[in-house]
Amino acid sequence: MAIGWTRDGAVQDQIDATVKDAIDQVRSSLPEGKSLTHCAECEAVIPEARRKAIPGVHFCVKCQAEIERQCEG
Q: Does residue 8 lie in a domain region?
A: no
- Strand pairing partners for 45? 38
Q: Per residue in 12-49, pLDDT tens?
A: 899 999 999 999 998 887 777 899 999 999 999 999 99
53 is in which domain, residue-wise? 31-73
> In the chain, where does DSSP find H-type helix?
10-29, 48-53, 61-72
Predicted confidence at residue 29, as pLDDT, reads: 76
Mean per-residue pLDDT, 44-60: 94
Predicted confidence at residue 64, as pLDDT, reads: 94
pTM recorded for the entire structure: 0.59
Q: Does residue 11 lie in a domain region?
A: no
Q: Does residue 37 lie in a domain region?
A: yes
Q: Is the pLDDT of residue 7 over 80?
A: no
Domain count, the chain: 1
Query: By CB neighbour count within 10 A (0-12 exposed, 13-18 middle, 19+ buried), where does 60 fall?
Result: buried
